Structure 1
């Protein structure tokens, strides 16, 4: 009996490791795709925000979700629309980004409060969390690295306010752009697991 229990625990540890590895690989791949196709990602985010607004309307009309919860979700979508104006250049210190993070947390609080008092099946709760609360913020999160590797343009906000500092000189003075923390960690993890596949210079 104890031997089968030991094997079960070993299998669970292996499964957790493989799932973690798969998630890390998927995050790395998605971040690379978003860096490669920033304009398509921007269009997809816009479509996802519109669909999310429609879902909120349907939840209020057909399912009787609380008006406060629906309005808060719609307001979060409006703030996230503001992030699309400068996409893929998202500054984590901007008021729009900070407000988005705060609203996502507040939305989670209201959702947990509502679902703890009203019975829904687990799949219905997961559908709400996935489509209304997780997909769009997650896409913005993995898009944070997309602005690092885009060529400079007049759309990119300058870090310097001086008028004699044009886009090209600013880009050249910064040297090689650093990759985001997400991509650096994912690439380091990949090189640790598969050292023979690391690029050689």
Structure 2
């Protein structure tokens, strides 16, 4: 970035908060759609989320991340609780779909079975992901492009020296393990990964989940992802 770049915190006027200032008419329209069975909720649960779970190899959706009412709750439980609450408020059951991946499908299915779906009385479906990405060791050219050609923050002298030392260590590592090779580190399966949120709706088309949902709820019009 240029030394003259002015970086400021986000101001209240820079974003629009749609949670507290919507007209009552829009709320009525949404409640009517929920009551008519036109809405289904989709929760993304394909990743391991090591930043959330304090370690790799942990299914993020099953991590007991918050203590509520004296018990640690998982993302799966809290998402279902929100759908249950909203459904009861409009007198309807809301279909809830969890999109999974090869990393998370079996653990989530087993967990829900053990917990008896947390007593969720609406349709509860799992949409197994069909797309897999390949994780590769970067090339020296890619690293140098990221460091030298793209905008980066200018640090003080000592921090710049530390950054240069880190860059040199990364280049040495890349050259030692092989540029562009499969990234496996200590577990061979690390060279594969779920490809992210962009593919979740196409996955629902390919694996039949959306067709099943439309058969059960022919009036479905909206997916809240």
Range into which the TM-score falls when normalised by the shorter chain: under 0.3
The structure that has the greater radius of gyration is 2
The structure that is strand-richer by fraction is 2
The structure that is helix-richer by fraction is 1
Provide the TM-score with structure 2 as the length reference.
0.23
